[in-house]
Amino acid sequence: MTNQYPEYDVAIIGAGVSGAAIARKLSRYRLRTVLLEKEADVSFGTSKANSGIIHGGFHHDAKYLKTRMEVEGAAMFDQLHRELGFPFRRCGILVAAMHLDEMRAVEHLYRQGIENGAPGIELCSRDRMLELEPKLSAEVIGGLYAPSGGIVEPYRFVFALVESAKKNGVVLETGFAVEKAIELSDEGLWHITASDGRAVRARYAINAAGLYADAVSASFGAEEFAIQARKGEYFLLDRLAAGCPSRVVFPVPSSISKGMLVIPTVEGTTLI
């Protein structure tokens, strides 16, 4: 009897920025790939509502994989922008110090950035900071400048990745909330079932489910872990606001937070 379920080489679970980027990359190869998204459209999870910052490679220690991926990933955006046309601007990132203790912390970030290979990173005097961003507080005493940092329109970036992947043959299934997965060892396939009864089969499965990656992992009988989500808040300022900056501006981070930052969006408005 003919198998009624569509079969693929790879099933990617989650069509946020990670799943979308993986789908586009795999679309370059002769693979049957399906992208499974539980929401009504791609980028409806965390990817639609993040800050859209392309980070500058100085916030984390070089021992972390995240740090290497941050620096290498940031360098890819010029070519991605040329190929896909999503809104992107390499405006640079500033970290503003308001007193001497903060300046010592900035010096640590600078050394960390140098070690990480962050291109063009600069330790700045007060005058240099005000030259780079005249709308900073007059109380700033110095800071850090990472010119490789930038901003994107997050959801349009994801849409562009998925559209490119689909043009190259990737199948997108929305409303597909993965409920369970059974390994068909005799066939070398995973049978992946959604909560609405739909199912697909795939030789390999990639967990790119973001905040729900723990539940997806459990459904495959894979690694057990728990994701504890945290929420932030955004305040949108009018693009004509007097304090609208031209660069991303960070405060000096504390041991528990990066603090409240100011972000010029690529299409005009400002987030804090």
C-alpha to C-alpha distance for 265 and 260, rounded to whole angstroms: 16
SS3 26: helix
Q: Which of 55, 60, 99, 108 is an active site residue?
A: 55
Closest CA to 206 of 217, 191, 218, 193: 217
- Exposed, middle or buried by CB within 10 Å (0-12, 13-18, 19+), for 236? exposed
Length of the chain: 272
Torsion sign (Cα): 237, 265, 243, 256? positive
Look at the block and give the residue holding tokens 């990745």.
161
Name the 3-class secondary structure at 105: helix
Distance CA 168, CA 22 (A): 13
162 φ, ψ (degrees, to nearest 5): -70, -40
Compute the distance between CA of residue 236 and CA of residue 44 in angstroms, rounded to an integer. 20
- Is 108 considered catalytic here? no
> How far apart are the C-alpha atoms of 264 and 247, rounded to whole Å?
6
Q: Which residues are catalytic?
A: 55
